[in-house]
Chain A
Amino acid sequence: MAEVGSHDYEYVEAGTINVRDLPPLDATTNKIMKDEFTTGFGLTVFYFILIFSIPVMNWFAPEFAFKKIWGGMTITWFVTTVVMMAMAFIIAYVHTALYEKRLKKYEILNK
C-alpha cells in the first residue's frame, strides 16, 4: 500500500468487489473496531440523551426549567451554560481513558 499523500497512491487500481463477497476483517481489527465503536456509541447515546433533555425540558416543562436556583440563575441556564460545558470534557475524557485501557489490554494479550 503506497504512502498516503504520495503522488501515486490514490489511483492505484484496486478494483471493486460486491460487498457480499467481501472477505471478513481479520480478527484483531474486527475486535478493535467493535470495542471502540461500542464504547463510543454508548457514550454518544448517553451524551445525546443529556443534550436533547435540555430543549425537551425548556419546551415541555418550562416551570421547572426556568425555576430560579441562585439569584437570577435558572435551572436551564445553569445546566446549559455550566454543567454541559463540563460534560463535553468529561465525556471526551472517559472515552480517552477507556481507549488507553483497551490499548494496554491488547498489549498484554499480544505478549
Chain B
Amino acid sequence: MMKALLEPKMLMTIALMGTIVYITYLTKRNATASDFFVGGRSFGWFTNGSAIGGDYLSAATFLGIAGLTFQLGYDGAYYAFCFSIGLTLLAIFVAGPLRRFGAFTVADFLAYRFHSRRARLVAVAVVLAISGFYAAPQLLGAAQILSMFFGTSYEFGIIFTCIVMIFYVGIGGMKGTTINQALELWIRLGAFIVMLIAAMYSGLHYDKILAAINSFSGPITGTSPYALDGSDINFDGAAWTGTGFYFPTFWQTISMTIGLALGTIGLPHILLRFYTNPSAKAARKSALMAIGIASAFFLLAVYLGAVGRSIFISGTASEEVMRDLVLGGNNMVIPTTALALGGKWLLGLVIAGAFAAIFSNLSGLFITSSGALAHDLYASIMKKDITEKQRVIAGKVAIVILGILYGVLGLLVKDASIGHLVALAFTVAASTFTPIFILGIWWRGMTEKGAIAGLLIGLGVSMWMIFLPGTLPSFLQFKIPGIVTVPVGFLSVVIVSLLDRKVPADVNDFMKRVHSKESETA
C-alpha cells in the first residue's frame, strides 16, 4: 500500500488534489452571489488570463489535440489550428463590450438586452446543451486516465471526477475556481515544456521525426499482441502527413474551420470569464494573454503528437508504451509519450497535468451551468424574492444536480474521441450564441424574437446535423457541420429581426453601456 502511494503518478496526483483542497478551503467564503458566480469581479489580467487559458485548454487540448495529430496526422494538426482561431475573434469583437456590460451569466445578456424572461429561458437551455457536449468528453478523459494508470473502472472514474468537481466548485465558487484554474494552467504548461525538453534531448527534432514518419510505410513492429486481429498495425506515413486522411473533401475542411473558428465566441464558460475582470481594459489584456498561452499550447500539442507517432513507428519503445499506444487509443498519447520520454516521474507530472486540464475545464462548465440553473432559472424566474445567501445555496444545489447530470453523460460517451466531441460543442456554440453576441453587441436592429429564433433554430439544426446525418442528402453530411449551421444561426436572427422590427425602446442606452469609454465603466 505504502509502496503504491510512493509511485510518482500517485504522489503528483495527491499533490494536485491537496493543492485544490487547500485553495478551495482558502476561498470558501462566498457571502454574495457576485462572489460565488463572478468571483467578486476582483481578478486582474494575469490571473484571469491564466484562468481563461485554463478554461479554454481543456482535455481536448492537453490530451485530444496531440491524440488527433497522432491518429490523423496533418488533419489532426489542422484541428489544433482551427481551435486556435476562436479566442482571437472573441478578443476582437466581444471581450471588451461584454465586460462593460458586466452581468453574472450568459443568459443575463439576453435578459438585459430585451427585458425578456423568454429569452433568458431559451438561453439557459442552450447553455446546458453546450455545456453537456463539452463536459462529457472531459469526464471521458478523466475516466480513461484513471483507468489506464490507476487500474480503476471507467464508471469509477466518472463518479470520482464528478465528486471532486462538486466539492471543488460547490465550496470554492468562482473565486476558488479561478485561482485553481490559473494554477492548473501552469502545471499543464510546465508538463508540456518538460516533455519538449525531454523530446529534444532524445534527438526527436521536429524536422527529423516528420521525415521519418513520412517515409514509413508498412506494419508497425510490436503492435500485434494488442491489436484486435492479432496482426501488426499497418501505417502509411505519406497519407498521415498529407490532407484528406480524415476530412475527405475541401468542403468538409471548410465546414470544420467555420464551426471551430466561430465557436469560441459562443462558449458560455469562456464568455463568463470576462465578467470576472475588474475592467474592460483588464478583460482585453486577459484575452491577449490567454491567446498567447493557447498558441504556445497548440504548437506544443501538435509537436508532441508527432513525437508520439515517431516513437510508435520506431520499434524501439517498451512493451508498456506500445500496449498503451494501441489500447489507449488517440486520447492517451500524451501520458504514454511522457512515459517513453522521461519515465515514471514525467508520467506523474503529465497525469497531474491531465487532471488539472480536466478539473480546470469542468469547473468552468460547472460554475457556468450552475449560474444558468440557480441564477437564471431559479432566482430570476421561479423565485425572485430570495436573499443573497439563498442564491448562493441555490448555486451549490445546482452544482450537485449538474454533477449527476454530467456523470450520466460521461457514462454514455465511453468510446468517443475527446477532440471530436469538443469540436461538436464548438459547432453548437458557433450556431447559437455566436450570432447572438456578435449581432447583439454591434447591431441595434436585433429583436427579442430574432434572438430566440436564432438560438432555437441554430440549436435544432446543429442537433439534427450532428445526430441524424443519415436523414440528409449526402452533400449535407458533414463531420462538423459549421458550414450549414453557422449561416443558418446568423440568418435566422437577421431575417426574423427584420420581419419583427420591434426593438427595445432603450436599445440606445444598452449600446452606450457596452461601447462607452473605459473611464465611464471601469
Residues A89 and B512 in contact, CB atoms below 8 Å apart: no
How many of B's residues come within 8 Å of A, CB to CB?
85
Question: Looking at the complex, which one of A4, A22, A29, A37 makes contact with B101 (CB distance below 8 Å)?
Answer: A4
Interface size range on A against B: 35 or more
Residues B379 and A19 in contact, CB atoms below 8 Å apart: no
* A interface secondary structure, majority: helix
Q: Please indicate which of the listed interface residues A10, A15, A89, A106 has the most CB atoms of chain B within 10 Å of its own CB.
A: A10
Produce 1/0 per residue, A38-58, CB < 8 A to B. Answer: 001001100100011011101
**Nearest chain A CB to B190's CB is how many angstroms away?**
19
Contacts of A59 in B (CB 8 A): 243, 250, 253
Question: What's the A-B contact tally at a CB cutoff of 8 Å?
Answer: 201
Contacts of A16 in B (CB 8 A): 447, 502-505
Question: Looking at the complex, which one of B102, B108, B117, B517 makes contact with A106 (CB distance below 8 Å)?
Answer: B517
Residues B511 and A92 in contact, CB atoms below 8 Å apart: no
* B interface secondary structure, majority: helix
Contacts of A80 in B (CB 8 A): 74, 77-78, 81
B384 at the interface (CB under 8 A from A): yes
**Nearest chain A CB to B515's CB is how many angstroms away?**
5
Question: Looking at the complex, which one of B89, B120, B243, B505 makes contact with A10 (CB distance below 8 Å)?
Answer: B120
B207 at the interface (CB under 8 A from A): yes
Could you list 25 A-B pairs, sorted by A, with CB under 8 Å?
Answer: A5-B33, A14-B506, A18-B503, A25-B444, A26-B508, A29-B516, A33-B442, A33-B511, A36-B515, A40-B92, A55-B254, A66-B241, A68-B211, A72-B241, A76-B243, A77-B241, A80-B78, A81-B77, A82-B299, A85-B295, A86-B295, A88-B294, A89-B292, A96-B285, A106-B517
Chain B residues near A (Cβ < 8 Å): 33-34, 38, 74, 77-78, 80-81, 84-85, 87-89, 91-93, 96, 101-104, 108, 111-112, 115-117, 120, 205-215, 241-243, 250, 253-254, 257, 261, 284-285, 287-288, 291-292, 294-296, 298-299, 302-303, 379-380, 384-385, 442, 444-445, 447, 501-509, 511-513, 515-519
